[in-house]
Chain A
């Protein structure tokens, strides 16, 4: 079946612009995670959804970062007033249920100039 998909795959934004990154999880997966992966580093947790409820947003680096999953399927990560330090790959992962194996999408590479 289809895996996790993310769009766009690449995004270039000028500093100060707002961006929206989309994640389509595997159909039927209850849990959805967002991670940020800096160049040459491992992914770092940003936020977690169980269905439409955002249960953990402790990893969001600032209040410029906002995520939503209004119908419990597709999720959007929004970054307002982008800064150069926001440049990274943003990964989405989903799992069938909480604490099950996580499957990752290909990521969105964000470059802020």
Chain B
């Protein structure tokens, strides 16, 4: 049973457009939701993260929107650039007692930004 479902699997956006990637989770104990960016041959790099006490977090061109009641969160990339072309992973973890904070990842979204 997949605990974090990510969509779409792939996304093509024109330069300057908005890229939107969605994730849904099942475990209500999750309380930390990071997004990672991964380029080919590299490890995942932390992009932005949110905790459920806020509904939105913005850092530069990247925004996370969080809907606790729907158990969904999304990444918006504004003014998308060709350099943003990468695979994006959403993840979740819990700080509940006994948890080690290991991340549960979605399957990834391959983003291509066309010039």
**Complex Cα–Cα for A33 and B44 (A):** 13
Interface size class of B (residues with CB under 8 A): 20 to 34
Q: Which of A41, A48, A50, A106 contacts B107 (CB 8 A)?
A: A41
Are A40 and B46 in contact, CB atoms less than 8 angstroms apart? no
Q: How many residues of A contact B (CB 8 A)?
A: 28
Are A106 and B42 in contact, CB atoms less than 8 angstroms apart? yes
Among B12-20, B55-63, B78-86, B95-103, which stretch is in contact with chain A?
B95-103
Q: Which residues of A contact B6 (CB under 8 A)?
A: 42
Are B105 and A98 in contact, CB atoms less than 8 angstroms apart? no
Are A107 and B100 in contact, CB atoms less than 8 angstroms apart? no
Would A41 and B102 be within 8 Å (CB), given that A99-B95, A106-B42 are in contact? no
Cβ of B41 within 8 Å of any chain A Cβ, yes or no, is yes
Cβ of A55 within 8 Å of any chain B Cβ, yes or no, is yes
Q: In chain B, residues 26-49, which have Cβ atoms closer than 8 Å to a Cβ of chain A?
A: 32, 34, 36, 41-46, 49
**Complex Cα–Cα for A50 and B91 (A):** 21
Cβ of A110 within 8 Å of any chain B Cβ, yes or no, is no
Report B83-115 CB contacts with A as 1/0, cut-off 8 Å.
000000101010100011111111110000000
Residue of B nearest to A95 (CB): B101
A–B Cβ pairs within 8 angstroms, 11 of them: A31-B100, A41-B108, A42-B89, A42-B108, A44-B105, A48-B100, A48-B102, A99-B32, A102-B46, A102-B103, A104-B36
